[in-house]
């Protein structure tokens, strides 16, 4: 063997290089101060207040006192666990649907669109310019009873299947879980497509060629190269879809019925109509904790802590 | 269009035979239909500036680019219609295209696994030993240096025992010293495994060091094909003469062209060119470009002109520049027939009188002269002329 | 058989275009129904063609007022969030300081929290402080949740900027202020602009947080929400369609201008 001098292996690059120390020791703190103060007072402090509200007792008329009444949590959970389960179920279904629908489109934009790429990008973002409430209301028309969409689904016997699964009731789609999931999917689809597109677009097309050259047919190339490399996009896309979908109450309210109420609906009505602040705060706190735990587990599991 | 003389229609299936293969994109012709045979076991280089069609040709062999016309044969098998994943050909990509999500072991095992081979461990380990990366098997590509990544790319392709290994600017991303080492390394591996290598490069030195046969490409055509020494000594066009090394050209007029030698008139002087080395028509009065390489020329101070032996081609001039580069000194000489004649003089005994401003006589053995058709640009293939300037950009990338 | 093969080869394209249709269908419906003349209070069923709503977009009481209010809030929230967020982004990229990790997570958390949680907790704060809900509480909330997005957008741009550019400016006799104004800021500008646009869009279209913290103040999304309960005037579709058309036209024009500029440079 001829001698080849070994170049020292490059150390793995840290995710974010430490910026150089500069003159002006106080400058960074001055720059940070106003914004961080804002977040501390109007984001972090409210969480503390909410925690304290959740263990208060009393009434609107006589005022509330902190009595460490943790039973509120238990009561809230035992009364509203179906809404919690429903929220997670709906949000998870919507997330899976978003992934299934969004991946082909992101792939299309990244690799196949050619000169149409910019136009399709604009069309993906453009719906944002119309208020999402107006667009969600449009689904009432699309899924209207006896309308063309429902008629087609009925004719194809899709509704029989979904009714059997409990997603729809009779020949209606509106006011059923399917309508709510459909609306959630629609509302958060761009949040899936954009991160997917970003991570797909970063893939060097030569890696596809290299896989092809190494005997991987197109489907294998996708499974072994493209999809694994798009994992950062998949992870952030599912998070960006799942988190807001879990807390959403707009779709359940506009497209659903009393049987499709999600935890967001409960929090909203407890806070703004029933005015039972401790219960509402406890529910909101449980939701926050549940999401933080789920997200942490998910990120651990997908092994992409350094990518998020 | 060029065809190799090698027509050994062999039973061994490693010949690459391109027949009338061409590629056009819209109105732009990347590769004009060309015929080319790369014999089994040879180290073949496609040399040219960026955009000359060399990479497109390589990609058509790999199946990554569909030819507009013509066919690709590997041995007796027509593979033109086969997708890349069905061709017994592997590629070492420019900047390697290693899979960043897989470690070195899995990168090398990729092709084996795709072909359904279950027990890959032994083969991968042997291959990693061959490229001296046994220790790095579980590292990710970004943890390796450029030279190591390059060897992974070679290992990843070679482990499949392809009939042909294609190398697309495999050393372009390495610094000069590492590049020299890898050139030797690749040559060693090629000798060891005996697989046909087709190597694309814009670096003439790299092509000449490594390849048995070099095809010089320009604007989608093969300008000339031959062994490195043959291309260097007997260029057929100014492009080849300039792209491979440096050449001096004198425009001359044929005086007598009948005998073995062609006698020419240039700037009042007389030059002799061996007829066998003349590519142009040598009828009396015709114009010919006379070329000579800088290192073939001797430089003598005008005061010593009487000592120059008879029978050598001579030209008088004045030194306008001298660059000392250690092993040699590179002079630029202004002469009536050519304003910037380049002369490389070995630093054996340095004549202290040879400084800018000195009157000198340039002289060389007529056998080192070559003649080219005068109807072509003197500057084709030089740095700064269209096409070659972009080589610098390509390297910078 | 040929159709199956064709479909197989174009599977990605067909599936992608289906998704695109799914994304755009509601906008088509919104546009079509802006020309409806509904019987009754709700505009969910097609009756007959009419341009009445287009001729009188402010014909519903409170609609245009809520639109103006939303625009005002969005403008101020954009200004506030962009200013505060840009400062943070520069501090994060350009300086070393203690508690970087804590600062980073404080910025990340608002983006990783369901809106309803932020909305509810902010409301408990306001209730505890006895603040009067209205314009100011909405603005405070909007600046809060837009801030993080601005930081991310600006940070990405500033981080990709070569620090040697600033050194080069200083080498060429620019003082710190000059360097910032003539080199750093112009280069960071696209990131700041992107952050500002995002903040504007988020604020203008926000419903959940506003719903909790608005009291009796009605922004445009709040107006739409209210009308979904009481009856949807066609004018809502008119406004939605107009915003869509104007925004897409702006994007196309800016792209055309950009293209032409690039071509001139080339």
Q: Of A206-210, A263-267, C125-129, C177-181, where does mean pLDDT reach its minimum?
A: C177-181
Q: Do A215 and B94 touch (CB under 8 A)?
A: no
**Overall average pLDDT of the A198-209 stretch:** 93
Query: 3-class DSSP state for residue A289?
Result: helix
State whether B211 and B280 are in the same domain. no
* Strands, E assignment, chain A: 56-59, 63-66
Which pLDDT value is given to residue B8? 37
Q: Do C243 and A131 touch (CB under 8 A)?
A: yes
In the block, which residue shows the tokens 């990710």? B140
> How confident is the model at residue B12, as a pLDDT?
52
Name the minimum distance, in Å, from the CA of B36 to any CA of chain A.
22
Domain of A122, in residue numbers? 66-302
In a domain, B265, yes or no: yes
Contact A13 B97 (CB under 8 A): no
% of chain B at pLDDT higher than 90: 58
Comparing alpha-carbon positions, the chain C residue that sits nearest to A242 is C114
The larger pLDDT score, comparing residue A165 to residue B200, is at B200
Instruction: Say whether both B181 and B63 belong to one domain.
Output: yes
**CB-based contacts of C104: which residues, under 8 Å, 6+ apart?**
C92
Chain C interface, mutation test: which of A49, A122, A131, most C Cβ atoms within 10 Å? A131
Contact: B94, A206; criterion CB under 8 Å: yes
Closest CA to C151 of C221, C214, C240, C81: C81
Chain C contact present for A215, CB below 8 A: no
Per-residue burial over C11-50, b = 16 or more CB atoms within 10 Å of its CB, e = otherwise: ebbebbeebbebbebbbebbbebbbbebeeebbbebeeee
Confidence of residue A303 (pLDDT cuts 50, 70, 90): low
Selecting from A204, A215, A231 the residue whose C-beta is nearest the C-beta of B85 gives A215
Residues B362 and B219 grouped into a single domain: no
Report the residue of B56, B66, B82, B85 to disrupt the A interface, i.e. the one with the largest count of A CBs within 10 Å.
Answer: B85
Split at pLDDT 50, 70, 90, the class of A59 is confident
Contact A2 B115 (CB under 8 A): no
Cβ contact, residue pair A281, C91, below 8 Å: no
Kindly tell me whether chain C and chain B come into contact, counting contact as 3+ Cβ pairs under 8 Å: no
| C167: Cα within 13 Å, side-chain hemisphere | 7
Mean pLDDT, rounded, of chain C? 90
What DSSP designation does B225 have?
A: E
Q: What tokens were used for A25?
A: 């020791």
Tell me whether residues B91 and A12 touch, CB distance under 8 A.
no
> pLDDT band at C251, cuts 50/70/90?
confident
In a domain, A13, yes or no: no
The gap between the terminal CA atoms of chain C, to the nearest Å, is 48
Look up tokens 């694309």; give the residue: B200
Contact C114 A287 (CB under 8 A): yes
Residue A225 has pLDDT above 90, yes or no: yes
SS3 B345: strand
CB A230 within 8 A of CB A196: yes
Q: Is residue B338 predicted with pLDDT exceeding 90?
A: no
Identify the band that residue A305 occupies on the pLDDT scale cut at 50, 70 and 90.
very low
Q: Could you report the per-residue pLDDT of B161-179, keeping only the tens digit for each?
A: 999 999 999 888 788 888 8
Interface test with A, best of B25, B101, B116 (most A CBs within 10 A): B101
What are the boundaries of each domain within chain C? 2-53, 61-232
Contacts of A118 in chain C (CB under 8 A): 255
- Classify residue A17: in a domain, yes or no: no
Q: Is A210 on the interface with C (CB under 8 A)?
A: no
Contact C84 A118 (CB under 8 A): no
Contacts of A140 in chain C (CB under 8 A): 44
Cβ-based contacts under 8 A for chains A and C: 258
Are B92 and B153 in contact, with CB atoms under 8 Å apart? Answer: yes
A206–B93 CB contact, under 8 Å: yes
C261, pLDDT greater than 90: no
A–B CB contacts, 8 A cutoff, strictly below:
97
Radius of gyration of the CA atoms of chain B, in A: 24
Closest Cα in chain A, distance from residue B210 (Å): 15
Question: Minimal Cα distance from A112: which residue of C?
Answer: C13
Instruction: Check A214 against B90: CB less than 8 A apart.
Output: yes
What pLDDT does A228 receive? 93
* Cβ within 8 Å, pair A35-C220: no
A53 vs C contacts (CB less than 8 Å): 124, 128
Q: Over the stretch B87-120, which tens digit does the pLDDT of each residue have? A: 999 999 988 999 999 999 999 999 999 999 988 9
Looking at the structure, tell me whether residues B306 and B210 fall in a common domain: no
Determine contact, residues B219/B49, Cβ cutoff 8 Å: no
Over range B355-359, report the average pLDDT.
Answer: 92
Average pLDDT of B219-237?
93
Q: How far is C47 from chain A (nearest CA, A)?
A: 12
State the average pLDDT over residues C222-235. Answer: 91
Sign of the dihedral defined by the CA atoms of residues C110, C112, C115, C120, in that order:
negative
In this structure, is residue B380 part of a structural domain?
A: no
Same domain, B153 and B59: yes
Q: How far is B232 from chain A (nearest CA, A)?
A: 28
Model pLDDT, residue B387: 42
Q: What is the CATH number of the domain that holds A139?
A: 1.10.3720.10
d(CA A113, CA A201): 12
- Determine the distance in angstroms separating the CA of C116 from the nearest CA of chain A, rounded to an integer: 6
Rounded Cα distance between A43 and A288, Å, is: 13
Question: CB of A282 within 8 Å of any CB in chain C?
Answer: no
Both B50 and B190 in one domain: the answer is yes
Q: What is the pLDDT of residues B34-57, one digit of tens each?
A: 999 999 999 999 999 888 999 999
Whether residue A210 and residue B100 make contact (CB cut-off 8 A), yes or no, is no
Same domain, B252 and B218: no
Task: Give the pLDDT of residue A255.
Answer: 94
- Give the rounded percent of residues in chain B with a pLDDT score beyond 70: 92
Between CA B131 and CA B108 the distance in angstroms is: 11
Give pLDDT tens digits for C99-114.
888 898 899 889 889 9
B273 and B324 assigned to the same domain: yes
Residues B256 and B317 in one domain: yes
- Note whether A131 contacts C251, CB cutoff 8 Å: no
Q: Is the distance from CB of C79 to CB of C150 less than 8 angstroms?
A: no
Interface predicted TM-score (ipTM): 0.89
pLDDT of A275 > 90? The answer is: no
Task: Tell me what the pLDDT averaged over chain B comes to.
Answer: 87
Is pLDDT at C132 greater than 80 in this prediction?
A: yes
The pLDDT confidence band at residue A285, using thresholds 50, 70 and 90, is very high
Pick the residue from chain A with its C-alpha nearest to B90: A213
**Structurally, how many domains does chain B consist of?**
2
What CATH number does residue B127 fall under? 3.40.50.300
Q: Which of residues 105-144 of A touch C (CB under 8 A)?
A: 105, 107-109, 112, 118, 120, 122-124, 126-142, 144
Q: Does C45 touch chain A (CB under 8 A)?
A: yes
Q: Which CATH number fits domain C61-232: 3.40.800.20, 2.60.40.1180, 3.40.50.300, 1.10.3720.10?
A: 1.10.3720.10
C-alpha distance from A244 to closest chain B C-alpha (Å): 30
CB contact under 8 A, A142 and C26: yes
Asked if B107 and B203 sit in the same domain, the reply is yes
Is B64 in contact with A5 (Cβ distance < 8 A)? no
- Tell me: do B203 and B346 sit in the same domain: no
Q: Is the pLDDT of residue C1 over 70?
A: no
**B367 and B339 in one domain?**
yes
Is the whole-model pTM more than 0.90?
A: no
- Determine whether the interchain pair C112/A295 forms a contact, defined as Cβ–Cβ distance below 8 Å: yes
Chain A residues in contact with B132 (beta carbon < 8 A): 1, 4
Total number of domains in chain A = 1
- Mean pLDDT within B267-284: 86
For residues B373 and B317, is the Cβ–Cβ distance under 8 A? no
Q: How far apart are alpha carbons B370 and C70 in whole angstroms?
A: 82
Does residue B9 register a pLDDT over 50? Answer: no
Range of the domain at B261: 247-373
Q: Dump the DSSP string for A22-38.
A: -S-TTHHHHHHHHHHHH
Residue-level pLDDT at B392:
37
């Amino acid at each position: 063997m001829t001698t080849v001098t070994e170049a020292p292996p490059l150390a793995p690059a840290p995710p974010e290089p430490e910026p150089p120390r500069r003159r002006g020791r106080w400058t960074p703190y001055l720059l940070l101060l106003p914004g961080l103060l804002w977040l501390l007072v109007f984001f972090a402090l409210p969480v503390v207040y909410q925690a304290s509200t959740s263990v208060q007792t009393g009434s609107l008329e006589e005022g509330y006192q902190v009595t460490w009444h943790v039973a509120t949590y238990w009561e809230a959970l035992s009364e509203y666990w179906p809404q919690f389960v429903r929220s997670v179920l709906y949000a998870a279904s919507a997330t899976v649907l978003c992934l299934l629908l969004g991946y082909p489109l992101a792939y299309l934009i990244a690799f196949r669109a050619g000169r149409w790429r910019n136009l399709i990008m604009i069309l993906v973002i453009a719906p944002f310019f119309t208020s999402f409430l107006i667009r969600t209301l449009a689904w009432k028309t699309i899924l209207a009873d006896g309308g063309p969409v429902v008629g087609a689904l009925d004719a194809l016997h899709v509704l029989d299947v979904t009714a059997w699964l409990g997603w729809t009731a009779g020949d209606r789609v509106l006011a059923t879980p399917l309508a709510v999931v459909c609306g959630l999917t629609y509302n958060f689809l761009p949040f899936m497509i954009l991160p997917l597109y970003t991570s797909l677009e970063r893939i060097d097309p030569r890696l596809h060629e290299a896989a092809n050259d190494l005997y991987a047919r197109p489907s294998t190339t996708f499974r072994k190269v493209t999809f694994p490399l798009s994992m950062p996009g998949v992870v952030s896309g599912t998070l960006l879809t799942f988190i807001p979908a879990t807390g959403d109450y707009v779709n359940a309210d506009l497209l659903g019925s009393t049987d499709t109420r999600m935890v967001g609906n409960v929090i909203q009505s407890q806070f703004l109509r029933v005015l039972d602040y401790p219960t509402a705060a406890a529910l909101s706190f449980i939701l926050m904790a549940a999401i933080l735990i789920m997200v942490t587990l998910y990120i651990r599991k997908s092994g992409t802590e350094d990518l998020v | 269009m060029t065809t190799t003389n090698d027509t050994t229609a062999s039973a061994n299936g490693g010949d690459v035979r391109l027949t009338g293969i061409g590629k056009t994109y819209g109105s732009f012709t990347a590769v004009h239909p060309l015929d080319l045979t790369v014999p089994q076991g040879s180290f073949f280089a496609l040399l040219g500036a960026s955009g000359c069609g060399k990479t497109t040709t390589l990609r058509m062999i790999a199946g990554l680019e569909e030819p507009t016309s013509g066919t690709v044969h590997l041995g007796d098998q027509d593979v033109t219609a086969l997708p890349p994943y069905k061709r017994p050909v592997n590629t070492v990509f420019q900047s390697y295209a290693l899979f960043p999500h897989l470690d070195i072991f899995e990168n090398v095992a990729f092709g084996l696994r795709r072909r359904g081979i279950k027990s890959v461990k032994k083969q991968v380990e042997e291959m990693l030993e061959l490229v001296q990366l046994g220790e790095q098997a579980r590292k990710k590509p970004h943890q390796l240096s450029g030279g190591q990544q390059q060897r992974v790319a070679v290992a990843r392709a070679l482990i499949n025992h392809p009939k042909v290994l294609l190398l697309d600017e495999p050393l372009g991303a390495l610094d000069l010293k590492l590049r020299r080492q890898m050139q030797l390394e690749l040559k060693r591996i090629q000798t060891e495994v005996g697989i046909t290598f087709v190597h694309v490069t814009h670096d003439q030195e790299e092509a000449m060091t490594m390849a048995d046969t070099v095809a010089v490409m320009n604007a989608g055509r093969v300008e000339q094909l031959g062994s490195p020494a043959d291309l260097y000594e007997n260029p057929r066009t100014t492009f080849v003469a300039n792209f491979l090394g440096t050449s001096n050209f004198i425009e001359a007029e044929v005086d007598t062209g009948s005998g073995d030698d062609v006698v020419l008139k240039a700037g009042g002087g007389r030059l002799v060119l061996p007829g066998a080395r003349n590519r142009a028509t040598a009828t009396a009065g015709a114009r010919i470009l006379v070329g000579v390489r800088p290192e073939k020329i001797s430089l003598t101070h005008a005061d010593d002109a009487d000592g120059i032996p008879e029978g050598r081609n001579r030209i008088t001039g004045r030194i306008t520049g001298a660059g000392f580069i250690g092993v040699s000194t590179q002079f630029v000489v202004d002469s009536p027939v050519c304003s910037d004649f380049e002369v490389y003089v070995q630093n054996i005994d340095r004549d202290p009188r040879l400084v800018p401003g000195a009157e000198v006589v340039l002289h060389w053995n007529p056998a080192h002269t070559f003649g080219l058709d005068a109807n072509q640009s003197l500057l084709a293939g030089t740095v700064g002329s269209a096409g070659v300037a972009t080589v610098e950009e390509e390297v910078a990338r | 058989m040929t159709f199956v093969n064709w479909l197989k080869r174009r599977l990605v394209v067909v599936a992608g275009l289906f998704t695109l249709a799914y994304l755009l269908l509601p906008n088509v419906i919104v546009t079509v129904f802006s020309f409806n003349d509904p019987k009754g209070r709700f505009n969910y069923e097609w009756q007959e063609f009419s341009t009445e709503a287009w001729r009188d977009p402010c014909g519903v009481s409170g609609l245009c007022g809520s639109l103006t209010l939303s625009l005002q809030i969005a403008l101020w929230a954009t200004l506030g969030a962009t200013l505060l967020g840009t400062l943070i982004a520069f501090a994060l990229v350009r300086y070393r300081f203690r508690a970087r990790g804590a600062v980073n997570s404080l910025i990340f958390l608002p983006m990783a929290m369901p809106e309803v949680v932020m909305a509810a907790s902010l409301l408990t704060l306001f209730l505890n402080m006895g603040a009067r809900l209205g314009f100011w509480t909405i603005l405070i909330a909007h600046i809060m949740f837009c801030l993080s997005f601005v930081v991310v957008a600006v940070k990405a741009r500033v981080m990709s900027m070569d620090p040697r550019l600033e050194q080069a400016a200083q080498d060429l006799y620019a003082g710190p202020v000059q360097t910032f104004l003539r080199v750093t800021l112009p280069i960071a500008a696209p990131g700041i602009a992107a952050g500002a646009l995002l903040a504007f869009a988020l604020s203008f279209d926000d419903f959940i947080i506003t719903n909790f913290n608005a009291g009796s103040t009605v922004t445009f999304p709040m107006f739409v929400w209210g009308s979904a309960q009481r009856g949807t005037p066609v004018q809502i579709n008119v406004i939605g369609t107009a915003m869509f058309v104007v925004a897409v036209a702006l994007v196309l024009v800016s792209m055309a201008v950009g293209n032409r500029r690039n071509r001139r440079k080339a």
